[in-house]
């Protein structure tokens, strides 16, 4: 074996040199690693996915606050990876155009109610404001989540070629019969001839009762009342109604009705955009809609009750309970409207049958089990309630 001379006159075996080089390389790597650890850490921020959402609500409407409650939950849970930027009605499109804008990708998302696109199919009204079944809004929202309603909703979207992923939230309190310039009607005959604002299948119902119906978004109601286009209207609740000035154009407010007794919000996203999201962000969009149902309900309880009292005590509005005769006339009219729609559209008939099957079981339980809260209220507060 040949020996090699080192720089200091020593000899080493040739096989020892590669081992020494490996040791020195590892040592150098270790020093470099330590240096890297001691250097300042530089983080590269990932740009969030931004979804542009528009509501169907005027800037002052409490429904905007409810939409923002949803947006807040999504944005905070997404941890900077996803952000919804929320816009009020008219920022990009008109309220009744939100569905088409989201489907086509002009908007990424929308906050509205399904009746705003019932012009495409009257079945849409069954997903938030259809004929009465005996179930309330909370129970009907249960049909969407547990009773098969959502599958029918997706089937309708497919039939209409709407590129939409939707969620539902906030079972709304019963909507009032509405606002009148004179004492509200007490009988079916007195309904006839009113120029009345409502939307969705409620328009079919009120027309069956002899009213002349105009469908308008909330922001156009008061101007229409001032111009005489309508002489009576409903929108939704004491807070929304008073914020757009209902009390300035009418002083009679009839509470309770069957025309929209079980409505809820529809929160929609462009399906292509939604499908491109990772699973955890999809889950946030879905479960935030369920969480905001509670938040919206508490917001409504606080505001609707306070603003009803304000309408009475400050604005001089004469608030009354809708008569039993009007309720009875509405139920009878619904029978006529539903029979016509079922004859015209087998899909409507199938969806409504599913909704009724759910109501038959769920509402039955509630009627047998619920306490008599009205009697308790009258006892505690020593007052007699109307109706």
The pLDDT mean for the chain works out to 90
Answer whether residue 380 shows pLDDT above 70.
yes
Q: Phi-psi bin for 215: left (phi > 0), alpha (psi -120 to 50), beta?
A: beta
Answer whether residue 252 shows pLDDT above 90.
yes
Which range has the worst mean pLDDT, 42-56, 85-99, 251-265, 284-298?
42-56
- Cβ–Cβ under 8 Å, residues 173 and 137: yes
The 10s digit of each residue's pLDDT in 140-192 is: 999 999 999 999 999 999 999 999 999 999 999 999 999 999 999 999 999 99
Q: How far is it, in rounded angstroms, from Cα 143 to Cα 149?
A: 5
Sign of CA dihedral 159, 162, 168, 173: negative
- Cβ–Cβ under 8 Å, residues 262 and 137: yes
Cα 371 versus chain centre, distance: 29
- Cβ–Cβ under 8 Å, residues 95 and 113: no
Which range has the worst mean pLDDT, 4-13, 71-80, 106-115?
4-13
Instruction: List alpha helices for 10-106, DSSP H.
Output: 16-38, 62-77, 98-104
> Mean pLDDT, to the nearest integer, of 204-231?
95
Q: In this prediction, what percent of the chain has a pLDDT beyond 90?
A: 86
Q: Is the pTM of this model over 0.85?
A: yes
Answer whether residue 42 shows pLDDT above 90.
no
What's phi and psi for 342, nearest 5 deg?
Answer: -65, -35
> Mean pLDDT, to the nearest integer, of 203-211?
97
Confidence of residue 387 (pLDDT cuts 50, 70, 90): confident
Domains of the chain: 49-172+262-302 (3.40.190.170)
Q: How far is it, in rounded angstroms, from Cα 70 to Cα 263?
A: 17
Extract the runs of DSSP E, i.e. beta strands, from the chain.
Answer: 4-5, 11-12, 49-55, 82-87, 109-112, 164-171, 178-180, 195-197, 212-214, 232-233, 252-255, 264-270, 318-321
Cα-based distances in Å from 198 to 98, 116, 175, 371, 380: 18, 11, 11, 33, 37
> Mean pLDDT, to the nearest integer, of 258-287?
98
Answer whether residue 33 shows pLDDT above 60.
no
pLDDT of residue 45: 56
Answer whether residue 17 shows pLDDT above 90.
no
């Amino acid at each position: 074996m040949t020996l090699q001379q080192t720089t200091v006159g020593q000899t080493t075996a040739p096989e020892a040199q590669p081992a020494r080089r490996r040791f020195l390389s590892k040592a150098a790597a270790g020093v470099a690693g330590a240096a890297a650890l001691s250097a300042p850490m530089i983080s590269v921020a990932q740009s969030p996915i931004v979804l542009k959402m528009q509501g169907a609500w005027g800037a002052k409407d409490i429904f905007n606050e409810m939409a923002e409650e949803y947006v807040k939950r999504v944005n905070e849970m997404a941890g900077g990876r996803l952000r919804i930027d929320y816009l009020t009605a008219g920022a990009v499109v008109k309220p009744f155009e939100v569905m088409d804008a989201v489907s086509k990708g002009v908007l990424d998302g929308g906050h509205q109610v399904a009746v705003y696109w019932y012009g495409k199919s009257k079945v849409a009204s069954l997903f938030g404001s259809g004929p009465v079944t005996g179930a309330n809004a909370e129970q009907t929202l249960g049909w969407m989540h547990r009773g098969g309603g959502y599958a029918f909703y997706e089937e309708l979207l497919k039939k209409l070629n709407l590129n939409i992923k939707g969620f539902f939230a906030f079972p709304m309190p019963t909507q009032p019969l509405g606002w009148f310039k004179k004492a509200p009607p007490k009988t079916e005959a007195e309904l006839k001839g009113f120029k009345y604002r409502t939307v969705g299948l409620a328009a079919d119902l009120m027309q069956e009762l002899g009213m002349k119906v105009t469908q308008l978004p909330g922001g156009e109601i008061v101007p229409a009342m001032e111009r005489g286009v309508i002489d009576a209207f409903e929108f939704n609740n004491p807070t929304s109604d008073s914020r757009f000035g209902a009390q300035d154009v009418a002083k009679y407010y009839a509470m309770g009705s069957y025309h929209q007794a079980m409505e809820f919000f529809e929160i929609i996203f462009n399906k292509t955009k939604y499908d491109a999201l990772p699973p955890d962000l999809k889950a946030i969009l879905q479960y935030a809609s369920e969480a905001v149902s509670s938040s919206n309900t508490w917001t409504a309880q606080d505001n609707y009750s306070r603003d009803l009292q304000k309408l009475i005590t400050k604005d001089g509005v004469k608030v009354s309970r809708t008569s039993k005769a009007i309720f009875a006339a509405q139920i009878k009219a619904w029978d006529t409207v539903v029979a016509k729609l079922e004859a015209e559209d087998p899909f409507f008939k199938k969806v409504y049958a599913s909704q009724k099957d759910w109501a038959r079981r769920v509402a039955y339980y509630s009627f047998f089990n619920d306490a008599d809260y009205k009697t308790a209220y009258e006892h505690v507060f020593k007052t007699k309630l109307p109706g």
